[in-house]
Amino acid sequence: MVSPLNLQAEISLTQLLLDTPMQDTSIQNQCRLLRCKLQPGIDLFIWQSQLVEPFKLRAYDDLGMINFTCALNGQSEFSLKHEKARRRYQVSEGANCISFTPGCHGTALYQGQFESLVVAVQPRILEQWGIDPGAVIQAQLKAQCCFLQSPYHREIQTTAALLKHKLLKMAAYPPSQRSASSLWLLGHSIIFVSLMLEQYQQQTLTGFKLTQQEQQKLQLAKELLLADLTKAPSISSLASETGLSVLKIKRGFRLLFENSVYGLFQVERMKEAKKRLSAGNVQVLTVASDLGYVNASHFSSAFYKQFGVNPSTYKRSF
């Protein structure tokens, strides 16, 4: 049996992660950590390894950030100690994790090829974004030793892959050329976090029922949502218009339409874009503008994310 490589002393997450806004570091020449500080309280990380032998890392969480992690490749094992309790977790390829472990001591074991993408945010940031984690997740976060896992989710994996490729390309840019890319990374990181929260909330819908009247009101909410594909109404306005609570709107869309409110809006928005591009006599920039996009690159990213092809390439096929 091969003995794991070890960092003899426990290391704080501040020491491990927060050195410079973007830095490539190696741990025993087998691990790579790439970090981009998107704005105060929000960091994006890629953790990669090509390990000949297992690698064990002992760490102490002195940062207190909520970590939204997508395991892109390989698997890892974690052990967390909080007060007198010790919990063990295994994360396999394709899994998504939400963790919040301020003050916890832990051990991580990595083997072979491993890759994960992490968006780390301070708890206050979710409030600034106006994101509601949901009652179940909020309760877990308050426990301050939170490690929630969800299975493979295609949209989350796709978003994580886009973030990874953009960050790797950005690392090669001179600092003067990184501002636009940082904005792109921030926007997609917010999408990434929202998708992960929505996926976990969906797992808590077991036993959630809708009456016939509520289903009719949700159908009305859907019509209001899609009435203008250039701009989505707020969930609170949909709730007000239909007489449903915000929570009922969010959960109801997941249950009845199998998508989040804004996820459904974006799907239909891109379907309309595809329909217009299929006509063959309209420019990509025109379609983007007509559907409310100020930035054409954001439109192209959204189109590629849904259909796996750039809008200009799709248009040329007609």
pLDDT recorded at residue 206: 60
CA angle, 146 then 117 then 2, to 5° = 85
pTM: 0.64
Whole-number percent of the chain with pLDDT over 90? 39
Beta strands in the chain, from DSSP E residues, in sequence order = 5-6, 11-12, 24-27, 31-39, 42-50, 55-60, 66-73, 76-82, 85-91, 96-100, 105-110, 113-121, 146-150
What average pLDDT does this structure show over 148-169?
Answer: 90
**Given CA atoms 119, 121, 127, 132 in this order, what sign does their dihedral have?**
positive
Q: Name which of 66, 201, 196 is nearest 136 in CA terms.
A: 201
Question: Is the pLDDT reported for residue 275 higher than 70?
Answer: yes
pLDDT recorded at residue 1: 29
pLDDT, tens digit (0-9, with 9 covering 90-100), for 89-147 = 888 888 999 999 998 998 988 888 889 999 999 998 988 887 777 666 777 788 778 88
- Reported confidence tier of residue 19, pLDDT bands at 50, 70, 90: low
Whole-number percent of the chain with pLDDT over 70? 90
What does DSSP say about strands 66-73 and 96-100: parallel, antiparallel, or unpaired?
antiparallel
pLDDT, tens digit (0-9, with 9 covering 90-100), for 28-78 = 567 788 889 999 999 999 988 888 788 888 889 999 999 999 999 998 888
pLDDT recorded at residue 3: 38
pLDDT recorded at residue 186: 92
pLDDT recorded at residue 308: 87
pLDDT recorded at residue 29: 64
- Reported confidence tier of residue 287, pLDDT bands at 50, 70, 90: very high
DSSP string, 155-204: HHHHHHHHHHHHHHHHTTS-GGG-HHHHHHHHHHHHHHHHHHHHHHHHHT
Which of 162-171, 173-182, 208-217 is least confident?
Answer: 173-182
What average pLDDT does this structure show over 225-249?
Answer: 93
Please check whether residue 54 is in contact with residue 4, taking contact to mean a CB–CB distance below 8 angstroms: yes
Question: Is the pLDDT reported for residue 4 higher than 50?
Answer: no
- Over the chain, what is the mean pLDDT? 85
pLDDT recorded at residue 89: 87
Q: What are phi and psi of 58, to 5 degrees?
A: -105, 125
What average pLDDT does this structure show over 249-266?
Answer: 86
What average pLDDT does this structure show over 225-250?
Answer: 92
What is the rounded distance in angstroms from the CA atom of residue 306 to the CA atom of residue 297?
Answer: 14
